Structure 1
Amino acid sequence: MKILQQKKAFICDMDGVIYHGNQLLPGAKDFVNWLQKEQKKFLFLTNSSERSPRELSQKLARLGIEVDETHFYTSALCTAAFLASQKPNGSAYVIGEAGLIQALYESGFSMNNVDPDYVVVGETRSYNFEKIEDAVALIRKGAKLIGTNPDMTGPAERGIVPATGALVAPIEMATRCKAYFLGKPNPLMMRIALKKLQCRPEETVIVGDRMDTDIIAGIESELETVLVFSGVTRKEDLAHFGYAPSFMLEGVGDIPPKK
């Protein structure tokens, strides 16, 4: 554990690591307090595209953890930055929530449901057949399909719920077009994270609850990796993967030194 405690920087997932829905996970507050007390560099790197950094900061504050919004980076921001570099002042038809729409607006994109450059899909509570029909029609007219992240499921207070990958799948099947996914484990997301932290890979550790996003992202970026069992992954799931995390813990509360 001393190896982890001596790291200069921490990249940390949120859902399934810090909280489930609106419920703080055991040890999360002690972990964040330790990061701040030890003056560690840290970034909450989430594949969720629903909320802006400010909203995520406010959510943690409601749960009793004070963290400035500069410590958050989302798949929505990564998606917006990528699309702005590909098609400056482009347009998008969005299936998603306010965090994604705001990120695209702030990157110079306009919303367009007639002839957009892109169909962009993120997490949403208002997914329906009409939106699938619209997305399919627009892609057949030439729009490119983008997903904010490839997660098929995510943890919530009531259990496991469908995530962006599951919402993109019907559109891919109907159009025979493969989506390009931003978010973890896309190397672009990890490069941005390390740049924001101003740290080298060997100084940094990534903490997450998913083998197929958090852990593989860390391995491919040459970071130490910590898998926590407080989210979607169970110990019996590890046999299905051809790679392993550097460390496995019950939760982030196991990282700080014991008092």
Structure 2
Amino acid sequence: MDTRPIETWLTDMDGVLVHEDVPIPGAQEFVEALKASGLPFQVLTNNSIFTPRDLRARLLGSGMDVPEESIWTSALATAQFLHDQRPGGTAYVVGEAGLTTAMHDIGYVMTDRDPDYVVLGETRTYSFEAITRAIRLVDGGARFIATNPDVSGPSQHGMLPATGSVAALISTATGRRPYFIGKPNPLMMRTALNRVNAHSETTVMIGDRMDTDIISGLEAGLRTVLVATGSTRPDEVERFPYRPTMVCDSIADLVGLVGKGL
């Protein structure tokens, strides 16, 4: 048991704080406890569709007041990665406002004429024309980046294909795999930590998926908490070759641990 105080909290959003737009019991109290403690925290999401402003409004509608600067998306992490790798570059972007805004903010030029990168994000209306153009550009030598590897996502009408599925289509056509930025890449955690000048040794990652949240937190050197309100059931934990630091029923169980150790 690691008794060092927790100085920074990272938490997934969907499945931990909310289901769609319905708050998970205890989430509002947990966010208020974090804010009252003064400890830095980041809400992480692999969803690249929305800007932090959009997501803040969504969380407000669910009764949680999370500042924009405390929301870290795979789109922001992707833009940060590209800015570090090739400042002022060019990209052909397939995605929505969360990704295009993040790319604009780092000074990237979006073009389909010999871009440095093809950047694939999530969108609710994938255009076959846009995917075809992405295939031709990747085949022509553009570097292939994708915001996250999630192959599907939920909607009110059932499952939707997500970034990973479309990336597989482009990969099959070109023979070139993308570099995925979002979870389970621990880069997502590292960039979130750097954003608040935090240290991995005193940070906890809360998630609902063993194969994204927990593995990326583990690989980034964080303590990890799996909550049983999302994708991975507690009885499935033993199937994985790695374990979280703690398994709990929901985020409500963690309210009293803010400012303490695990």
TM over 0.5: yes
Whether contact under 8 Å (2:42, 2:192) holds in the other structure is: yes
One-letter code aligned to 1:169 = A
Whether contact under 8 Å (1:230, 1:250) holds in the other structure is: yes
The aligned counterpart of 2:147 is 148
**Which structure 2 residue ranges, 5 or more long, are not aligned?**
258-262
In 2: Cα distance, 1:225 partner to 1:155 partner: 25
How many Å apart are 1:21 and its aligned residue?
A: 2.0
The CA deviation string for residues 82-107 of structure 1, in whole angstroms up to 9 with x for no partner, is 11222222221111110100100111
How many Å apart are 1:36 and its aligned residue?
A: 1.6
> Map of 1:72-221 to 2, 5 A cutoff?
72-156=71-155, 160-221=159-220
Whether contact under 8 Å (2:227, 2:251) holds in the other structure is: yes
How many Å apart are 1:157 and its aligned residue?
A: 5.3
Whether contact under 8 Å (2:234, 2:247) holds in the other structure is: no
Change in 2 beyond 3 A, CA 1:230/1:162: farther
**Which structure 1 residue ranges, 5 or more long, are not aligned?**
none
Change in 2 beyond 3 A, CA 1:210/1:147: same
In 2: Cα distance, 1:159 partner to 1:15 partner: 16
Q: What CA RMSD, in Å, does the superposition of the two structures yield over aligned residues?
A: 2.2
Q: Percent identity?
A: 47
One-letter code aligned to 1:90 = G
TM-score calculated relative to the size of structure 2: 0.89
Change in 2 beyond 3 A, CA 1:181/1:2: closer
Q: Helix, strand or coil for the counterpart of 2:164? A: helix
In 1: Cα distance, 2:47 partner to 2:196 partner: 20
One-letter code aligned to 2:234 = K
In 1: Cα distance, 2:235 partner to 2:156 partner: 22
The aligned counterpart of 1:14 is 13
Q: Helix, strand or coil for the counterpart of 1:178? A: coil
The more displaced of 88-97 and 98-107 is: 88-97
> Map of 1:219-234 to 2, 5 A cutoff?
219-234=218-233
In 2: Cα distance, 1:253 partner to 1:160 partner: 28
Change in 2 beyond 3 A, CA 1:88/1:257: closer
In 2: Cα distance, 1:163 partner to 1:111 partner: 22
One-letter code aligned to 1:125 = R
How many Å apart are 1:215 and its aligned residue?
A: 0.6
Q: Helix, strand or coil for the counterpart of 2:205? A: strand
The CA deviation string for residues 47-68 of structure 1, in whole angstroms up to 9 with x for no partner, is 1111122222122112221121
The aligned counterpart of 2:31 is 32
Whether contact under 8 Å (2:52, 2:69) holds in the other structure is: yes
